[in-house]
Amino acid sequence: MSLKHNRGALVRFAAIAAVAALALAGCTSTASGAGGSSSSGPIAKEDLVLVASVINTTNPYFIANIEGAKALSKKLDIPLEIIDSQGSSQTEISKIQAILAQGKKVVMFVNTVASSDTPTIVDAVKRAGGYVSIWWNKPDNFEPWDSGDNFVAFQKHPGVDSGRCNAQAIGDALGGKGNVIMFPGVQDSTTSQTRVAGFEAEMRENYPGIKILENQPSNWDPQLANQNAKDLIAKYGDQINGVWSADDGMQLGAIQAFDDAGLLDKVKFASDGLYPDTVALMEKGYGNNAIVGETFHRGYMASAIGLYTAYLAATGEIVPSELPKEKRTSFFDIKCVTPETLGDYLKYDTPTAAADFVDQLVEKGPWDTEPATLIGGGGPEVLPKP
């Protein structure tokens, strides 16, 4: 079986990105101006606008973020603005500031490009009297409870657990011996850093016969991962036995490179996200069952949880400063998936999955909605000892 027959991964990315770009053209503001002071009381629903800021619109995870935001917007009957950061912190911050200048009070979800972006974004939203939930990336020493109620929550799935899960899958598939390469995301990303730390720790502690040949950050970008994989194939050739990627978008780009090089049947892959394209490849046993492990979560769940948490704060249904710390810096459940357990997760990719999740979210609240339930938090994720 060959990706050349159904070049699903990269070709679909391009098509979906084009559609997303058309949708964004009417959504993203270009106005400018200064923000106001922070809000001190509940905001009327008709004065709110939902805003979802994503890193790019080529990665399936971020496209799913947009799907979740749209589903919640429809459910709450509140208008939605989408920000495509185009992989740039400067673009991300300038577009957020432009929307804040329009005057409506924002309820915002931000999947930050880099951890260091968070303080600037939070300060701008606070001065404008809006409410924001940040997903995935922030400096460890910048906590919501130190910034007031407008920084409602920082939310993520544990990165160390994700990396360990993937390392176990590759380590077992290789029988504890071989060579692997790694494709992290953005270097200034706590999400990528924790996943890398988990993967490396698991290999070091439990699979000493496996050597990490090289680590090439690929910025959550399938095309960049594809090029980086080509470069590492040229350098190491058939020495490579396993490939780890910090998310499925990059993994799909890497798989294409190994397929083009005629090496796919000899290499095992694991990654984070279990994106629909990955599901399809696993169901087919593609590339001699090349994908041996995944971690499951969904972008539409993250954006819906983030936006709904901020919405509850904006409307006065929760007071962030009265919440326990684990509901302000929050870790949500993540599942290890193998080819044998794949069928348990197919229900989360039906055409109505995002809307169905939002229905449950509004009924049960942001911390108790399966499968993304609160499992911990209250401070930075603890990294394994080197």
Q: What is the pLDDT of residues 339-361, one digit of tens each?
A: 999 999 999 999 999 999 999 99
Mean pLDDT of 124-137: 96
Alpha helices in the chain (DSSP H): 8-25, 60-76, 89-100, 118-127, 159-173, 190-206, 222-236, 248-260, 276-284, 286-289, 299-314, 353-364
CATH of domain 45-157+299-376: 3.40.50.2300
**Higher pLDDT pick, 173 / 59:** 173
User: Could you state, in order of their start, the residue ranges of all structural domains in the chain?
Assistant: 45-157+299-376, 160-295
- What pLDDT is recorded for position 126? 97
- What pLDDT is recorded for position 282? 97
Among 188-192, 296-300, 372-376, whose mean pLDDT is lowest? 188-192
CA distance to 83, 179, 271, 283, per residue, from 51 (Å)? 7, 43, 29, 35
Q: Quick one: which H or E segment has residue 296? A: strand 291-296
For 139, the token pair is 């400096």
CA distance 141 to 146: 10
pLDDT at 375 over 60: yes
Q: What pLDDT, in 10s, does the model give residues 186-229?
A: 888 889 999 999 999 999 999 999 999 999 999 999 999 999 99
Residue 185 burial (CB count, 10 A)? 27
Give, as one character, the DSSP assignment of residue 206.
H
Q: What pLDDT, in 10s, does the model give residues 1-40?
A: 334 444 444 444 434 433 333 333 334 332 333 333 454 5
Whether residue 232 contacts residue 264, with contact meaning beta carbons closer than 8 Å, is answered with: no
- What pLDDT is recorded for position 379? 93
Question: Model-level pTM?
Answer: 0.84
- What pLDDT is recorded for position 170? 98
- In a 10 Å sphere around its CB, with 0-12 CB exposed, 13-18 middle and 19+ buried, how is residue 172 labelled? middle
CA distance 276 to 300: 13
Average pLDDT, the chain: 90
Domains 45-157+299-376 and 160-295 in one fold: yes
- Residue 57: name the closest of 93, 15, 94, 26 by CA: 15
Q: Which residues contact 77 (CB under 8 A, 6 or more apart)?
A: none
Q: Answer positive or negative: Cα dihedral of 202, 205, 211, 214.
A: positive
On whether the 160-295 domain is CATH 2.40.170.20, my answer is no
Q: What pLDDT, in 10s, does the model give residues 155-167?
A: 999 999 999 999 9
Mean pLDDT of 127-131: 97
